[in-house]
Structure formats: structure tokens, C-alpha cells
Amino acid sequence: MKQYVSLVALFLLSLQAAALELARHPQVFDAGQGVSLTLAPTADGKQALVQVKGINHPLDEVVFLTQVRELGNEQRDYGIRLDGRDYNLLNKRRAWSGESFQLNLPGTEGFELGYNETKTKALKQSELLALYKRQEKAGLQARLAAFDRKKRVQDYSARLQQMDLEATQACGTPLATRVDWSAFNDDLLMSVSVPHFCGEVVSQMASLCGRADSYKSEASTIKGVECRFGDSMKLREHDGQLSFTTLKDEPNQGDFINAILRNR
């Protein structure tokens, strides 16, 4: 049944691509350093083809059919599905000097875009649409849209290790955060930044060590941190091992952890 639904979904996407009617006036923007972006809205303005070129990134030269979200006052977001979640690839905003566009790529701070009239005049929309259809038929966009659990865990693990390293350097003692990844379902991994939550203990320890050398002796008694998600926030210690339980959407975990660490 699952395979049947997937085939139906692919068929509907193919029909959608075949029926795309693009507006007459596409635009090409530059972001500097050889990076450019092509924006080709559909005739009804509800979608747009967007392609980024010149980046060292898996999204390079992929043509996405973005969903346009109107925000009012001629401001809008251009969204795609990326790694299992919604992602705003492009933003249009109003500024005192006029409209501005910003390209957002995972792992970057964003690129401000400037209109390029020469490249816009040279653009052939028929070739852009044809490339989108070929990529869509090959399943390229679908693969980028799908959640990659292994990659997400690798990325989160690397970020936690970096936070551990910074705390280790600040406190002058080895600190490590351990997470049982098998206990996290895909929904949690897609909706929550695990390093933001589970790395907060060593982050607060690094802050305390940086403020007072006296806390470094306290930190030296810590053997490690174990982190999990639960129904309530807790930070307990047993034989030098910190056990931290956090919960999704908890806004004050930094203050909570800091208070407990200072009063151990």
C-alpha cells in the first residue's frame, strides 16, 4: 500500500510539473563570490522555480519548485522541503531603500542578493523548466526533501563534540556529553535541535569556569553528562555523573542548569 501511495504521489508531481506555466518576467540575482540565484515565478504567483549556482553545497544547480507564502506589504517567503522539514530558501523583504532578497542555505549566515540585468536578459526559461522536469523525474528534489537520520545524527554529534571541547578548554578538565540516539524518534530529531538542549549543561559549565577560576575545581569532579528528553526538566548527580533530563519547548533550561551547577 505504501509503495502504491508513493507511486501516486510521484505521478501527481509529474502532472504538476508538466502543467507549470511560468510568468513572463524571471529574475537573476548575484550574491557575490560567483554565487547566483534564478527566480522564475509561476503565472499565478503561488509557486516559483528557484535555482542556486556557484555554491559548494548539495543544493548547487538544483531547480526547486518553491511554495510562495505571502506575508503582506509585498513581502514573501519561498519554501521547500529539505531533510524532512520545511525550509525557507529565499526571503523577499521591504527595506527603506526598496525590496531586498536573501538566500538561505543550511550552515550559512545567508546571502544578500543583488539584481543582475545582464544575466536576467540571457536567461532562457524553457531551459530552466526542462532542467527542473529532468531533475524531478530523476527524484533529485525528492531525495533532498527526505529525512536523512544518519546524517542528522552525525551533524548533531559533531556539534555536541565541539561544545564539549570548548567546555573542556574553559574548565581545564575533560567533559563529554553522551546521548542515546536510539531513544530519539525521527519526529524529535526533525523538530528539535538536540545540541541546543543537550549541550546546554557543558555550555553553562564553560560559562561558570570562564567567570571564576574557583569553579574549575568543581568542574574537575564531573565525569560526564548524560542527556535525555522526558516530561520534566531535571539535573541530578551520582558519583560525579550528571544526568540531565530536558523537554521540548523548554525556554529557561539555561537558567535552571546554571542555578543547580552553582549550588552543587
Q: What confidence tens digit (pLDDT) does each residue in 65-97 have?
A: 999 999 988 899 999 999 998 999 999 998 777
- Taking the C-alpha atoms of residue 105 and residue 52, their distance in angstroms, rounded to an integer, is 10
The pLDDT assigned to 72 comes to: 87
Domains of the chain from N-terminus onward: 20-145 (2.40.128), 149-262 (no CATH)
Q: How many residues does the chain have?
A: 264
Strand, coil or helix: 100: strand
- Higher pLDDT: 17 or 215? It is 215
More confident residue, 152 or 10: 152
DSSP annotation string for 188-232: HHHHS-HHHHHTHHHHHHHHHHHH-THHHHHHTT--EEEEEE-SS
The C-alpha cell that represents 216 in the structure block: 574549575
Examine the pLDDT at 254 and tell me if it is beyond 70: yes
pLDDT digits (tens, 9 = 90+) for 47-71: 999 999 999 889 999 999 999 999 9
The DSSP result for 231-258, as a single string, is SS-EEEEETTEEEEEE-TT-TTHHHHHH
Query: Three-state SS for 259?
Result: helix
114-123, Cβ contacts within 8 angstroms, sequence gap of 24 or more: 114/29, 114/30, 114/31, 115/27, 115/28, 115/29, 116/28, 116/29, 116/30, 116/36, 119/28, 119/30, 119/36, 120/26, 120/27, 120/28, 122/28, 123/26, 123/28, 123/38, 123/40
Of 149, 152, 143, nearest to 81 by C-alpha is 143
| Structure confidence at residue 16 (pLDDT) | 52
Q: What is residue 260's predicted lDDT score, i.e. its pLDDT?
A: 92
Euclidean distance between CA atoms 207 and 121, whole angstroms:
54
Q: pLDDT digit string (tens) for 148-178?
A: 999 999 999 999 999 999 999 999 999 999 9
Q: Is the pLDDT of residue 121 over 70?
A: yes
- pLDDT above 70 covers what percent of the chain? 93
Give the contacts of 187 (CB within 8 A, at least 6 positions apart): none
Confidence of residue 18 (pLDDT cuts 50, 70, 90): low
In this prediction, residue 244 carries a pLDDT of: 97
* Nearest Cα residue to 36 out of 140, 128, 144, 126: 128
Average pLDDT along the chain: 90
DSSP string, 102-166: EE--TTS--EEEEE-HHHHHH--HHHHHHHHHHHHHHTHHHHHHS--HHHHHHHHHHHHHHHHHH
Q: How confident is the model at residue 251 (pLDDT cuts 50, 70, 90)?
A: confident
Provide the grid cell at 255: 537558567
Of 119-128, 203-212, 255-264, which gets the smallest average pLDDT?
255-264
Strand pairing category for 224-229 and 75-82:
unpaired
pLDDT of 1 above 50 = no
Checking if the pLDDT of 15 tops 70, the result is no
HSE of 47, CA atoms in CB hemisphere, 13 A: 13
Pick from 10-19, 110-119, 225-234: least confident: 10-19
Confidence of residue 6 (pLDDT cuts 50, 70, 90): very low
